[in-house]
A and B are shown apart, each in its own frame.
Chain A
Amino acid sequence: MTTDTPEVLSCKGLRKRFDDVTAVDDVSFTIAAGETYGLLGPNGAGKTTIISMVAGILRPDAGDVLVEGVPVSTRTTEPKGRIGYVPQELAVYPDLTGRENLTFFARLQGLSRVAAARRVAHVLGVVGLTDRADDRAEHYSGGMRRRLHIGMGLLHEPILLVLDEPTAGVDPQSRNAIMDNIRELAHSGLAILYTTHYMEEAERLCDRVGVIDAGRLVAEGTRRELVALLGERDRISLSVDGDLGHAEDVARLVPAVLGVAARGRGLELLVHDARQCLPAVLSALAEEDVRVRAVEVDEPNLETVFLHLTGRALRG
């Protein structure tokens, strides 16, 4: 995010203890408008506790949560109207219809009867449940319930959407639909705080990621920044036809390429950012009539980062 993007959420020095266990220890981060920020960590790392404090349903022992500069706490009500909270539990009344569930929360968000009806109809469309709006939620599939659950957080047009593991327990198809929805919401300018223990989701959705372990924020940044912390590089494998030695010489001349080695009928290139320099490599090879038959990119991922930072696997 650029520095002129307005800051929507600011968490400063959040701490929370439950009896003898420190669940969250001095966690600070910010999220700007239109930014998706992921809290990545294993189960029990403290993600839900942080989310609960951000949503104003759990009182921190120390620290502040500010939404657009306004403090959020269990006792404040006004700033909560700017937050859309989607908890980890599937918080849906099974014996009410999708429309009734949404209307209930629209009214609690302070919308008038007419405004609530209008927003409910809109949100039903956003989450793709218009056709099943008047069926009881207990007759929905798991993915539909999950979409309804997310829709409840969007009724009042919040500026910050807080999602606690929103894809937990859903099938791959529904997971993709949910993630597409979230991406569209981020593009519309919503700030999104997203917790997950799925590395793939964090990589796919989040502009920045905070790696959380045992209640502490151990690292924070874009995927690339986090990977860079470890000094790791991307690896590009090319299968080429023709003179392998010539191809190697051509590739070596591309400025972003840090190293080249011939491997069987192909080349292996070490680069800082494979996605950025791959077009330059392919273009240089094409100009020298080197035909590339296959390309494979191997990037260090957040799983590797987490392992390096904590000494443990994400889903251990």
Chain B
Amino acid sequence: MKALTIAGTNLRRMFRDRTSLFFVFVLPLMLILVLGAAFGGPSTPKIGVVGVDSGHFLDALRADRGFRVDTVAREGDLLAAVERGELAAGLVVPPSLSGEVRLVVRQDGAGEQARLLVAAVIAAENGRLASGEFVARVAGTDTADAMSIVDSVAAVTPVVSVSTSSTGDALFPADLGRFSLGASSQLLLFMFLTTMNSSVALIESRRLGMSRRMVATPTSTATIMLGEGLGRVAVALVQGVFIIAGTSLLFGVRWGDPPAAAALTLAFALVAGGAGMLLGSLFRTEQQAGGFGVLTALGLAALGGCMVPLELFGGVMRDVALFTPHAWANQGFAEVASRSGTLPGVLPELGVLSGYAAVLFALGAWRLRAVLTR
């Protein structure tokens, strides 16, 4: 009961600090909104075309659903749009496809895909034009009639079909909401950052003499340590629940199986609480703890896949990432949110996170006890 009193006071003090409220509640939602708006969700790359407004060639390009094809009036506008990244590629087509077709692409995956698509469509168009030329010569008709014969024959000629199937899970499923991709990463980053920052309150308590005063009451040191630890966990949990609820309601983020998501949030809050307690007992001044806490929180978040998805990490970095609790929690949330995992599916992640929490709490309690009863 006394431990809850201490934890409750920690929480009350956090709610009294307007700066904390901004970092705990406002900033995470703002970042998820901004990141989701900027990078989230499916987007279809665009190809700009100058020189043709309609016709078979344009229809053939538009037949590919992987791209949107827009016509552009002037070549200068086309190049500028590619430079700005508004278009994945720009195509300058000579009248009646006579002569050289010029293609300008961006140096990225979408530009390369556009190049392949344009090359395939032009190859097909070249074949069609050659067939028309052949028919015109053999049948002695004009080119328009010849092309019409070619098109009608092509429509009834059996073609070699390609059957496509998929295997394995998509790294970023197409049905994942635009805000879902970064939400769990931001959740972990902020829960850890806030809790590390809350270690400052533990040092302030010592500096003010409140900790000594608590020890002078008929409250065991173990109860005081439990209360301080619970206080840190409570701060992390309140923020975690707020982010999950807020992003679900405001941005439609899908967090997956509730028991699994809740277990992962609780386990990570325990890890963050233990780390906060250790930090608060290791340093003497709020400035030292604050600086080290922010650096550690951001460093672990970067290493653990909260800034760049783990899926994009190389082999060695992926192994290194697994030394951070963030990577395990990220893996767990990916399983639950993206692949419809349930509690049994994230038991390994929960086990590792619990281990981290136990070690950090044990070290924090050991240090805090030494500091309180020195």
Interface of A with B (CB < 8 Å)?
52, 55-59, 74-75, 77-78, 80-81, 83, 85, 87-96, 100, 104-105, 107-110, 136, 152
Once the chains bind, are B217 and A109 in contact (CB under 8 Å)? yes
Task: Contacts A77-B218, A78-B218, A96-B16 given; indicate if A152 touches B213 (C-beta within 8 A).
Answer: yes
Of B17, B218, B374, the residue contacting A80 (CB under 8 A) is B218
CA–CA, A91 to B211, complex, Å? Answer: 9
What residue of chain A has the Cβ atom nearest to residue B217's Cβ? A108
Once the chains bind, are B13 and A91 in contact (CB under 8 Å)? no
What residue of chain A has the Cβ atom nearest to residue B372's Cβ? A57
CA–CA, A110 to B1, complex, Å? Answer: 9
Once the chains bind, are B217 and A96 in contact (CB under 8 Å)? no
What residue of chain A has the Cβ atom nearest to residue B9's Cβ? A104
In the complex, 16 of the A-B residue pairs with CB atoms within 8 angstroms, ordered by the A residue number, are: A57-B212, A58-B373, A59-B373, A83-B216, A87-B212, A88-B209, A89-B208, A90-B208, A91-B213, A92-B208, A93-B9, A93-B13, A93-B208, A100-B12, A107-B2, A109-B218
Once the chains bind, are A110 and B213 in contact (CB under 8 Å)? no
Contacts of B6 in A (CB 8 A): 108
Once the chains bind, are A80 and B373 in contact (CB under 8 Å)? no
Does chain A have a CB within 8 A of B214?
Answer: yes
Of B2, B210, B373, the residue contacting A91 (CB under 8 A) is B210
CA–CA, A116 to B259, complex, Å? Answer: 39
CA–CA, A55 to B213, complex, Å? Answer: 9
Interface of B is mostly: helix
Once the chains bind, are B212 and A96 in contact (CB under 8 Å)? no
Interface of B with A (CB < 8 Å)?
2, 5-6, 9, 12-13, 16-17, 207-210, 212-221, 372-374
Once the chains bind, are A57 and B373 in contact (CB under 8 Å)? yes
CB distance from B243 to the nearest CB of A (A): 24
Task: Contacts A95-B13, A95-B17 given; indicate if A107 touches B208 (C-beta within 8 A).
Answer: no
Contacts of B16 in A (CB 8 A): 95-96, 136
Interface of A is mostly: loop
CB distance from B2 to the nearest CB of A (A): 6
What residue of chain A has the Cβ atom nearest to residue B6's Cβ? A108
CA–CA, A115 to B216, complex, Å? Answer: 20
Contacts of A108 in B (CB 8 A): 2, 5-6, 214, 217-219
Task: Contacts A89-B209, A91-B210, A95-B16 given; indicate if A104 touches B216 (C-beta within 8 A).
Answer: no
> Which of A56, A58, A95 has most chain B Cβ within 10 Å?
A95
CB distance from A117 to the nearest CB of B (A): 14
CA–CA, A152 to B209, complex, Å? Answer: 13
> Which of B212, B217, B372 has most chain A Cβ within 10 Å?
B217
Once the chains bind, are A104 and B215 in contact (CB under 8 Å)? no
> Which of B16, B17, B212, B213 has most chain A Cβ within 10 Å?
B213
Of B12, B219, B372, B374, the residue contacting A96 (CB under 8 A) is B12
CB distance from A251 to the nearest CB of B (A): 54
Contacts of A90 in B (CB 8 A): 208-209
CB distance from A287 to the nearest CB of B (A): 58
CB distance from B171 to the nearest CB of A (A): 46
Of B2, B207, B208, B216, the residue contacting A57 (CB under 8 A) is B216
CA–CA, A93 to B372, complex, Å? Answer: 18
Contacts of A74 in B (CB 8 A): 215, 221, 373
Once the chains bind, are A87 and B209 in contact (CB under 8 Å)? yes
CA–CA, A196 to B75, complex, Å? Answer: 88
CB distance from A82 to the nearest CB of B (A): 9
Once the chains bind, are B208 and A91 in contact (CB under 8 Å)? yes
Once the chains bind, are B9 and A57 in contact (CB under 8 Å)? no
Of A58, A77, A136, the residue contacting B219 (CB under 8 A) is A77
Contacts of A110 in B (CB 8 A): 2, 218
CA–CA, A103 to B16, complex, Å? Answer: 17
Once the chains bind, are B5 and A56 in contact (CB under 8 Å)? no
Contacts of A87 in B (CB 8 A): 209, 212-213, 216
CA–CA, A150 to B212, complex, Å? Answer: 15
CA–CA, A152 to B216, complex, Å? Answer: 12
Of B5, B17, B212, the residue contacting A104 (CB under 8 A) is B5
What residue of chain A has the Cβ atom nearest to residue B221's Cβ? A74
Contacts of A92 in B (CB 8 A): 208, 210
What residue of chain A has the Cβ atom nearest to residue B207's Cβ? A89
What residue of chain B has the Cβ atom nearest to residue A79's Cβ? B218
Contacts of A91 in B (CB 8 A): 208-210, 212-213
CA–CA, A77 to B373, complex, Å? Answer: 13
CA–CA, A104 to B13, complex, Å? Answer: 12
What residue of chain B has the Cβ atom nearest to residue A95's Cβ? B16
CA–CA, A87 to B210, complex, Å? Answer: 9
CB distance from B139 to the nearest CB of A (A): 93
Q: In the A-B complex, list the 10 residue pairs whose CB atoms are closest, starting with the nearest.
A: A89-B209, A91-B209, A85-B216, A81-B218, A77-B218, A108-B217, A55-B216, A95-B16, A107-B5, A57-B215
CA–CA, A83 to B207, complex, Å? Answer: 22
Once the chains bind, are A80 and B216 in contact (CB under 8 Å)? yes
CA–CA, A74 to B214, complex, Å? Answer: 12
CB distance from B46 to the nearest CB of A (A): 54
Contacts of B215 in A (CB 8 A): 56-57, 74
CA–CA, A57 to B219, complex, Å? Answer: 11
